[in-house]
Amino acid sequence: MLFLCQFTWFPGTDRRAVAQRVVAQHDAGANHPDRIRGWYNLAGGGAGFLLVEYDDAKELTAFLQPYMDLMSFDVRAITELDYDERIAELRHLAESAGAETRSSSGTQTEATATNPPGRNLSHANLSGANFSGADLRRGNLNQATAIDVDLTGADLSEADLTDANLARAHLKDARLVDAKLQGADLRYADLTDVEVNDRSQLEQANLEGAQGLPEAGDEGTTD
């Protein structure tokens, strides 16, 4: 996973102190240059950002901690986008949303009301998107990348989230009844009051650092 680590020196931090710390960490083999994808300073100095690649947030924290008495960090998980692919994904999403709006503008048929068609968002990059309250029943999000996505109160009943990356997703009050979660990445996601069949359903996913998990044996808020 790629992380943007923005840093700002604390008042009183000088170049000599930073230089000594960086060199000391390098000589100790703790800077892991193979994981640094980019290192940029802002004009004027005293601030900048790193692009680093880590699969384990604890290892990233261990990399940054030796510098935390000299500077502050703002860390965010990010994804690299291909412009043409992203436009194609957004066009598909926009046209799908438009079709749903048109179909619901008149009297909804019984078939549509009781069995709405699932959206196909398989492999889509939805990172940072706002789907709060969205109707994604039976949607296909297989292998989608949806880091930091807002799914607060969304209905994902019977959705396919197999191998989807939902790290740090906002799923408070979301409905996940009968959703497929095998291999899904829910690290550091907010699962407060999420509606599931039972906790064992969530345990099919990676739940490292996830918040609001129901207790073992808890059937959540399902009726």
For residue 110, the model assigns a pLDDT of 37
For residue 9, the model assigns a pLDDT of 96
Contact 110, 129 (CB under 8 A): no
HSE-CB at 203 with a 13 A cutoff on CA atoms is 10
For residue 179, the model assigns a pLDDT of 93
Domain edges within the chain: 2-78, 89-103+117-214
Enter the pTM of the model: 0.50
Long-range contacts of 149-157 (CB under 8 A, 24+ apart): none
For residue 62, the model assigns a pLDDT of 94
Range 2-78 has CATH code 3.30.70.1060? yes
For residue 105, the model assigns a pLDDT of 47
For residue 108, the model assigns a pLDDT of 39
For residue 82, the model assigns a pLDDT of 85
CB atoms within 10 A of CB 158: 16
CATH number, domain 89-103+117-214: 2.160.20.80
**Residues of the chain below pLDDT 50:** 101-102, 104-117, 219, 222-223
